[in-house]
Structure 1
């Protein structure tokens, strides 16, 4: 890639701390999978090791994405390197505490137990989660002003970072769902100051069975859904950018960067709409599996918007082909 002065701007080295973060997270996933096999303890009806496995996988994937992104030529590399390091270190501390609590057979998030391990861990969370959010927010601001790479990939990266910021912000809403009582793996009851599920007056709402694998609630709104969608939008948009480029030989109307970039814009707007829709549904205490007519109508309108956007981009691309 060349700078405005014509000099070649080379990719930087891989971000070491983020790679170490991802390696540790992969190791945690392996340990957690083994734990699911050999450890029969349960929390909320699922293995105590499911949560560390989910967080380990998510952080491994996001850490690799950031490490690759920070290699791209951009201004402010020193600042972005330190922000990546803050994210890597804080992520290891936070997910490490989740793993420790899983090994102890108890809850990591919102746990009000007064034992020393939990007390220290909650302090780690109280400082670590804002650290992750601020590091990601400042990175999004820095990257938003950069050219980085080709236009479609650039849109995917920038939009993905802001989707992650949005997803992290939505995670804070879980802290306002109200207290509840749940059972630890040994059967004893512990209080949680909040939870994932929005369901008025239910002090054991997270204890109800959820969807397979994700565990998302089937009895009330679940704020983990928009939180999850926001955090992983960057990977989906990057996959879309790569897929569109791979389809160029078969569909010549996709050959220009402008056309593919326009499709990424439509996808980004649609994805932000999906995050908004699922958050709105969750805040209304409505399960993902049981949408009412209002939610279905909003979903249909969003689908029509995306479809119209794609058709518009297609027609303009074909018109440009004929004109040339």
Structure 2
């Protein structure tokens, strides 16, 4: 066998280690996927509607989004040496995110079972307090991404430039832009230009209003910078394209689109009009 064939090659898919943080992140992902399956019957059979969609749509959206979030963190963390992944910084942030995950999912599901809003609900003192706690939980869910970005920048593998900078920029920009868009919604609400108690027709599964301005599409696009930029960098590395340039280009396009959606919603126009 020739030396060329026996030389070490990086696998197409990053190999997941068995360290504590990786296992914690993967278990969190699998927990969400299992809940998605378990609640499928309720989603299809329960006839109750809240904000124009099934009462179980929000929990199901949460399970898919958070499963993707934790899977992303587990994969991107493999760029770090095992001793860094097992260090106190990532362990602390990962456990805070996992605890927040259980809390957020549990309360969202409880409110769905009661056909009550979990977000932007000030109808009772308890629900207002829980919404405030959910804000803290949401921050901890994305803070782990920022912690991971810092560690990848300081101690991550530098052999795949596109993936490295896609991870650093994706996690950082996703964290910062989510704080901006989600923070605005927390202060002023998610709907603009209409009655917040009547959103009319909505986009299937996502639940975004098709009749009034809805700030959530901008939040969605900005949050998923955490996935699109590392993926763009990874593809660039595999294709031997200029990874950093591609990552920066995708970031500019995606942030511009998120800003456009935000301004569109502020003008009272829906993302997908009827």
* Distance (Å, rounded) in 1 between the aligned partners of 2:145 and 2:212: 30
The structure with higher relative contact order (CA 8 Å, sep 6+) is 2
Tell me if structure 1 keeps the 8 A contact 2:80–2:151. Answer: no
Q: Compute the displacement of 1:15 (Å).
A: 1.9
SS in 1 for 2:79: coil
Q: Which residue of 2 aligns with 1:159?
A: 169
Q: Compute the displacement of 1:170 (Å).
A: 0.9
Q: Compute the displacement of 1:135 (Å).
A: 3.6
Q: Compute the displacement of 1:136 (Å).
A: 3.5
Report the count of equivalent residues. Answer: 252
What's the CA shift string for 1:14-61, capped at 9, x where partnerless? Answer: 523222211221122112322112211111221111110111100001
Q: Which residue of 1 aligns with 2:229?
A: 237
Tell me if structure 2 keeps the 8 A contact 1:21–1:89. Answer: no
Q: Which residue of 2 aligns with 1:33?
A: 40
Instruction: Name which one, 1 or 2, has greater alpha-carbon Rg.
Output: 1
Quick check: 21-30 or 278-287, which moved more? 278-287
TM-score normalised by L of structure 2 = 0.81
What's the CA shift string for 1:197-244, capped at 9, x where partnerless? Answer: 111xx3336532122232222223221111111211222223333444
* Distance (Å, rounded) in 2 between the aligned partners of 1:122 and 1:176: 12
Q: Which residue of 1 aligns with 2:185?
A: 174
Counterparts of residues 276-295 of structure 1 (less than 5 Å): 276-289=259-272
* Distance (Å, rounded) in 1 between the aligned partners of 2:150 and 2:215: 26
Please list every run of 5 or more consecutive structure 1 residues that lacks an aligned counterpart in the other structure: 1-9, 178-193, 249-254, 291-324
Q: Which residue of 2 aligns with 1:7?
A: none
Tell me if structure 1 keeps the 8 A contact 2:163–2:243. Answer: no
TM-score normalised by L of structure 1 = 0.69
* Distance (Å, rounded) in 2 between the aligned partners of 1:260 and 1:130: 30
1:226–1:146 distance in 2 versus 1, CA, 3 Å: farther
The root-mean-square deviation of aligned C-alpha atoms, in Å, is: 2.6
* Distance (Å, rounded) in 2 between the aligned partners of 1:15 and 1:206: 42
Tell me if structure 1 keeps the 8 A contact 2:62–2:105. Answer: yes
